[in-house]
Amino acid sequence: MTLDDMVKRHGSWLEAGVDEGPVVSSRVRLARNVEEYSFPGWASDEENLAIWNQTSEIFKNQQENFMGWSMAETSKLDKEVLFERHLISQEMAQQEDSCGVFVTPDECLSIMVNEEDHIRIQSLQPGLNLSGAWQAADKIDDRLEEHLTYAFSPKLGYLTSCPSNVGTGMRASVMLHLPGLVLMEEMDPVINGISKIGLAVRGMWGEGTEAAGNMFQVSNQITLGRREDQIIAHLEQIVLELIEHENNARSRLLEERMLVVEDHVARAFGILSNARLMSSGEALNLLSTLRLGLDLGMVDQFSRRELDMLFISIQPAHLQKLEGKELGPEERDVVRADLLREFMENATEDEDLG
């Protein structure tokens, strides 16, 4: 399977059809390093190449038939596609030498090699399923450890490039859609409160990104001194509280600003159905409004998962892959608007047929 094939569909972590309201997906990431080698940022070219060659050989023999991309042999556009699909980090998308990623065909597992750490295992699951994500990550972690000796301290745990990852090396996160809290102007207090209990709130594509389309990633910051199950249990508890706050905010929106919300959703529907130019930022915000309208029963022509998939499909690199050529910013805005109009038209036609 090539990236050209992949952009025509989406990973099963989005396609599973889980209906969990504000929750989009769960992710567990494990950071590991190989003993007797310097961490990637300090390693020599020879050391990084040795790690890449060892891991490449391991994944050639895995039963899942992992797909692999060496960053040295991957175009800038394809790297952006992998980043937009949440399969590599922004940092890896800018790298070239002796590094890359291995991905299962369903895209629920991706393993980056020689990013910030030698090994970065990422497991994605639809909805609120941190335990499932952890089990899948733990399984591939054990299999890698059959071939690699990890840098580990009996006192500290797994040793990592960033001190904040020392210990379990685990970062667990949940992607949530929180337009109710944003519209009620309650998101900033929520973020401040979450940061005081050892959690972080980031944008849709993780560290260093903004919360476009009212999508937020909530993750743990502390990995030292806590077991994996404790990290997951704490994060799940906070996510359930966030869901309750978001649902309460939506109820108050309906009670206090019903007409405003209906107008907001109707305008989003109209613009998406008719616009000839559409930036990615505007599209994300309009799709967010449509998703809220769907959750509130104001529209019913499409599913939540279809909208979640569009959040990725409208991104710049995906549009260019679908078109089969490089596009300038304004050309992308035209293609994006065309794609969204076609989606809205098809959804309306399907509703009429029903």
Residue 23's H or E segment, with its range, is: strand 23-32
Output the pLDDT for position 63: 64
Residue 17's CB is within 10 A of a number of other CB atoms, namely 11
Residue with the two structure tokens 């970062």: 171
Which parts of 93-228 are beta strand (E)?
Answer: 100-103, 109-113, 119-126, 152-153, 157-158, 170-177, 199-202, 215-220
CA nearest neighbour of 220 among 59, 353, 29: 29
Residue 17 scores a pLDDT above 70: no
pLDDT tens column, 51-91 = 999 999 999 877 668 999 999 999 999 999 999 999 999 99
Output the pLDDT for position 353: 40
Distances (CA, A) of 216 to 18, 181, 210, 302: 18, 11, 8, 22
Output the pLDDT for position 354: 45
Tokens of 160: 């990592």
Residue 264 scores a pLDDT above 60: yes
pLDDT band at 260 (very low <50, low <70, confident <90, very high): very high
Residue 316 scores a pLDDT above 70: yes
| Residue 241, phi-psi category: left (phi > 0), alpha (psi -120 to 50), beta (remainder) | alpha
Q: If you average pLDDT over every residue of the chain, what do you get? A: 91
Whole-number percent of the chain with pLDDT over 90: 77
- Which residues have C-beta within 8 Å of that of residue 155, sequence separation ≥ 6? none
Per-residue pLDDT, averaged over 210-216, amounts to 82
Output the pLDDT for position 19: 59
- Taking the C-alpha atoms of residue 132 and residue 328, their distance in angstroms, rounded to an integer, is 40
pLDDT band at 44 (very low <50, low <70, confident <90, very high): very high
Output the pLDDT for position 15: 63
CA nearest neighbour of 40 among 146, 122, 144, 113: 113
Instruction: Please name every residue paired with 126 in a beta bridge, in sequence order, or none if there are none.
Output: 25
3-state SS, 178-239, equals: CHHHHHCCCHHHHHHHHHCCCEEEEECCECCCCCHHHEEEEEECCCCCCCHHHHHHHHHHHH
- By DSSP bridging, strand 109-113 and strand 100-103 are antiparallel
Residue 236 scores a pLDDT above 90: yes
- Taking the C-alpha atoms of residue 306 and residue 177, their distance in angstroms, rounded to an integer, is 14
Output the pLDDT for position 351: 54
Residue 211 scores a pLDDT above 80: no
- By DSSP bridging, strand 170-177 and strand 109-113 are unpaired
pLDDT tens column, 81-126 = 999 999 999 999 999 889 999 999 999 999 999 999 999 999 999 9
pLDDT tens column, 136-181 = 999 999 999 999 999 999 999 999 999 989 999 999 999 999 999 9
* CB contact at 8 A, 227 and 207: no
Cα atoms in the Cβ-side hemisphere of radius 13 Å centred on 286: 23
Q: Which domains does the chain have, with CATH numbers?
A: 3-251 (3.30.590.10), 257-353 (no CATH)
Output the pLDDT for position 205: 63
DSSP assignments along 62-115, one per residue = -TT--EEEEGGGS-HHHHHHHHHTTSS-HHHHT--TT-EEEE-TTSSEEEEESS
* CB contact at 8 A, 28 and 142: no
Residue 322 scores a pLDDT above 50: yes
Q: Which residue has the higher pLDDT, 211 or 300?
A: 300
Whole-number percent of the chain with pLDDT over 70: 94
Residue 184 scores a pLDDT above 70: yes
Residues, the chain, total? 354
207 backbone dihedrals φ, ψ, rounded to 5° = -55, 130
pTM of this structure? 0.91
Q: Using only C-alpha atoms, what is the Rg of the chain?
A: 21
Per-residue pLDDT, averaged over 270-291, amounts to 96
